[in-house]
Amino acid sequence: MAKSFTPKVVTANALLEGDAVWLTEANTWTRDIREAELMTDEAHADLRLLEAQARADEIAGAYLADATSGASGPEPTHFRETFRTRGPSNYAHGKQAELS
Amino acid sequence: MYTYTDFDEAFVRSRVAQFRGQVERRIDGSLTEDEFKPLRLMNGLYLQLHAYMLRVAVPYGTLNPAQMRQLAYIADRWDKGYGHFTTRQNIQYNWPKLQDVPDMLDALADVGMHAIQTSGNTIRNVTADHFAGAAADEIEDPRPVAELLRQWSTDHPEFQFLPRKFKIAVTGAAHDRAVTKAHDIGLRMMRNDAGEPGFEVIVGGGLGRTPMVGKVLRSFLPKAELLPYCEAIVSVYNLLGRRDNKYKARIKITVHENGLEKIQELVEARFDTIRAGFSGHDQELLAQIEAAFAPPSFARKATDGYEAARLANPAFRSWTDTNLAQHKADGYAIVSISIKKHGATPGDATSDQMRVMADLAEQYGHGELRISHEQNVILPHVHKSDLAKVYAALRQADLATANIGLASDIIACPGMDYCALATARSIPIAQEIATRFDELKIEHEIGQLKIKISGCINACGHHHVGHIGILGLDRAGVENYQITLGGDGTETTTIGERAGPGFSAEEIVPAIERLVTGYLGLRRDADETFLQTYRRLGMEPFKAILYPSEEKANAA
């Protein structure tokens, strides 16, 4: 039996800054995962990933990451993806400082 | 110290210009990431979890004050005011922006530095004993040979596309501080019966997912034959090494699969073919390099003030007890500056701290600094009469932690706080362990103990050769930490043994505390180190300490 599809977001690293970005429904890149497009259909997700990967002069390394629907938008389900929304734990650098 | 020739300077500048063009073409979209990635990796630029990371080579761990100041300047100008010293004697910047990297590389070239071959499937930065040129137990300074290897391996046309990365370490002393048995090639300087200098050549060591202790390929190689012999090894590996599976591509696997004897035959045959091509130019070059590494003119003066200061100041005395090593010159000491303040990130130094260390090297250290694979900074030549002044300045800069070789002098890779390959975090575990031992005030009582932490099986944190090794893994979406015991990275290199099931992030620090306080009850006397006790008693008593509930369950 095929593994059931779990909801996904398209994520990548911004080309210049190298930090985590997520793809929105409006085809823009956001630095806040809560604004990302949460996709529940596998074929649609694959298509969106292809579209994202074509945008070579904006991002690098696009992939589909597991996410879940939270109170104010998509939330990561794996700790690695959670860290990408925040930054490192040893200094207040990265998104935890930039977004607050 | 070696300084760049016009040739070196022109080469590094042309590489920066080339990379500047590549970055421009990446930004305007004419290069895709797949096309750009091998180009950026050749210049030390990684894309990590939160940003790019630039890895700068510190050849054989040696820096002069101007270079250290420039590293500080780069940290301030293009990064977040600090740098991370690594287990391969390099420095990493965690926050560069892509468009700034060519300028950073130009700034490095201004002081004779670069990031070439700090990544990719090439011969990487050649590392050396961080006490090179200063250690009392040294046959010869290994750095001239390391510099010769650097020049030979940099942009070597045959070795730009090896099956996998290739790491060489050199030591000039009997006591191995360069982990030579865990390198693709390890070179241990020795003398033959006639008293001539040469090398024991070790091949196929490495950590990572398949840890192996290096094997002796040649028990004595005359010094003059080093370059053709190393070329023969890499040449054989280049053809024989597997390219079908990156996890089986390192030379340790090539040696393991083909057997040491076959590798020996092939290397000796290749050596015979190519040695005539080395018609002595390499030896002329080596002689010039050796002249550049001539030892400083050591001062001869009294050390009375040093003893008096030791008696007067217990904190200074404690620091001298842990952070000094024996120097070959009378009246001198090797100073290890701990970049492991309790609770801080192992290996991270601020730009201000870098400038203080540069100033101290200039004022009191004959203009030399070293980076150790244990992520500390060394002032290799300090006269004992200056130690109290050095200590006072270090204290001002928050650099006077007296813990070299102790439980809180932990090696930790960047782990999942930065690294895209990591499976768990390393830094917070190191911070918590160091903080805990500081609270308990028992690390001096514990004595020599090497704790090493890696955030994935690639083992950048050398956990396999830690007396206590910690490996961070992802177990069903949760960080989990495995403990290995009995590892050793010196001339008696041993791969640590796994103790049992892993611990959660909350359990790992108490487990380490249990292990270490338990050792205090197991050791024969205060002189028996953790590693010696482990070797005497084996895994069982330590396992009983780590997993007390299981012991009870078994007994019931």
pLDDT tens for B150-161 read: 999 999 999 999
Task: Say whether both B164 and B246 belong to one domain.
Answer: yes
Task: Say whether both B446 and B549 belong to one domain.
Answer: yes
Concatenate the DSSP letters of all residues of B392-419 into one string: HHHHHTT-----TTSTT--EE--GGGT-
Write down which residue in B340, B365, B396 finishes a domain.
B396
Q: Report ipTM (2 d.p.).
A: 0.96
In a domain, B97, yes or no: yes
CB proximity list for A85: less than 8 A, separation 6 or greater: A20, A33, A76, A95
Which tokens sit at B345? 């990130």
Task: Say whether both B134 and B97 belong to one domain.
Answer: no
In a domain, A17, yes or no: yes
User: Has residue A1 got a pLDDT over 60?
Assistant: no
User: Has residue B143 got a pLDDT over 90?
Assistant: yes
Which tokens sit at B232? 């023969």
Tokens 């069982």 locate to B540
pLDDT in tens, B393-423: 999 999 999 999 999 999 999 999 999 999 9
In a domain, B514, yes or no: yes
Task: Say whether both B133 and B278 belong to one domain.
Answer: yes
pLDDT class of A99 with cuts at 50, 70, 90: confident
pLDDT in tens, B80-121: 999 999 999 999 999 999 999 999 999 999 999 999 999 999
Does the distance separating the beta carbons of B51 and A94 come in below 8 Å?
yes
In a domain, A1, yes or no: no
Task: Using a CB–CB cutoff of 8 Å, tell me whether B193 touches chain A.
Answer: no
Q: Which residue of A has its CA nearest to B49?
A: A84
User: Has residue A64 got a pLDDT over 80?
Assistant: yes
Task: Say whether both B137 and B245 belong to one domain.
Answer: yes
Q: What is the mean pLDDT of residues B521-537?
A: 98
Q: What is the CATH number of the domain that holds B474?
A: 3.30.413.10
Short-list B119, B158, B126, B160, CA closest to B144: B126
Which of A61, A91, A95 lies nearest to residue B47, judging by beta carbons?
A: A61
Q: What is the mean pLDDT of residues B197-209?
A: 96
pLDDT class of A2 with cuts at 50, 70, 90: low
Q: What is the CATH number of the domain that holds B351?
A: 3.90.480.20
Does the distance separating the beta carbons of B95 and A93 come in below 8 Å?
yes
Task: Using a CB–CB cutoff of 8 Å, tell me whether B81 touches chain A.
Answer: no
Write down which residue in B241, B262, B291 finishes a domain.
B291
Does the distance separating the beta carbons of B416 and A83 come in below 8 Å?
yes
Average pLDDT, chain A: 95
Does the distance separating the beta carbons of A17 and B478 come in below 8 Å?
no
Task: Say whether both B338 and B418 belong to one domain.
Answer: no
Write down which residue in B291, B321, B338 finishes a domain.
B291
What spatial distance separates the first Cα and last Cα of chain B, rounded to whole Å?
66
Q: What is the mean pLDDT of residues B533-552?
A: 90
Domain that holds residue B533: 411-555
User: Has residue B551 got a pLDDT over 60?
Assistant: no
In a domain, B320, yes or no: yes
- Looking at residue B549, its pLDDT comes to 80
Task: Say whether both B98 and B160 belong to one domain.
Answer: no
Which of A77, A87, A90 lies nearest to residue B431, judging by beta carbons?
A: A90
Average pLDDT, chain B: 96
Task: Say whether both B421 and B540 belong to one domain.
Answer: yes
- Looking at residue B492, its pLDDT comes to 96
Task: Say whether both B424 and B515 belong to one domain.
Answer: yes
- Looking at residue B553, its pLDDT comes to 58
In a domain, B324, yes or no: yes
Task: Say whether both B326 and B463 belong to one domain.
Answer: no
- Looking at residue A85, its pLDDT comes to 98
User: Has residue B34 got a pLDDT over 70?
Assistant: yes
Task: Say whether both B483 and B516 belong to one domain.
Answer: yes
Taking residue A86's Cβ as centre, other Cβ atoms within 10 Å add up to: 17
Give B78 to chain A, closest Cα distance, Å.
12
Q: Which residues of B touch A95 (CB under 8 A)?
A: 50
User: Has residue B555 got a pLDDT over 60?
Assistant: no
Q: What is the mean pLDDT of residues B177-200?
A: 96
Looking at the 3D structure of chain B, how many domains does it have? 4
pLDDT class of B175 with cuts at 50, 70, 90: very high
Give B337 to chain A, closest Cα distance, Å.
21
- Strands (E) in B246-326, as ranges, are 324-326
In a domain, B302, yes or no: no
What one-letter code names the amino acid at B368?
Answer: E
- Looking at residue B369, its pLDDT comes to 98
pLDDT in tens, B421-468: 999 999 999 999 999 999 999 999 999 999 999 999 999 999 999 999
- Looking at residue B552, its pLDDT comes to 57
pLDDT in tens, B285-312: 999 999 999 999 999 999 989 999 999 9
Apex B245 CA angle, B240 and B246, nearest 5: 90
In a domain, A2, yes or no: no
In a domain, A70, yes or no: yes
In a domain, B406, yes or no: no
In a domain, B122, yes or no: no
User: Has residue B31 got a pLDDT over 70?
Assistant: yes
Looking at the 3D structure of chain A, how many domains does it have? 1
In a domain, A35, yes or no: yes
In whole angstroms, what is the distance from residue B480 CA to residue B472 CA? 6
Which tokens sit at B371? 């980076």
Task: Using a CB–CB cutoff of 8 Å, tell me whether A54 touches chain B.
Answer: no
Give A41 to chain B, closest Cα distance, Å.
23
Domain that holds residue A92: 8-98
Q: What is the mean pLDDT of residues B18-44?
A: 95
- Looking at residue B1, its pLDDT comes to 83
To the nearest whole percent, how much of chain B has pLDDT over 90?
97
In whole angstroms, what is the distance from residue B457 CA to residue B482 CA? 11
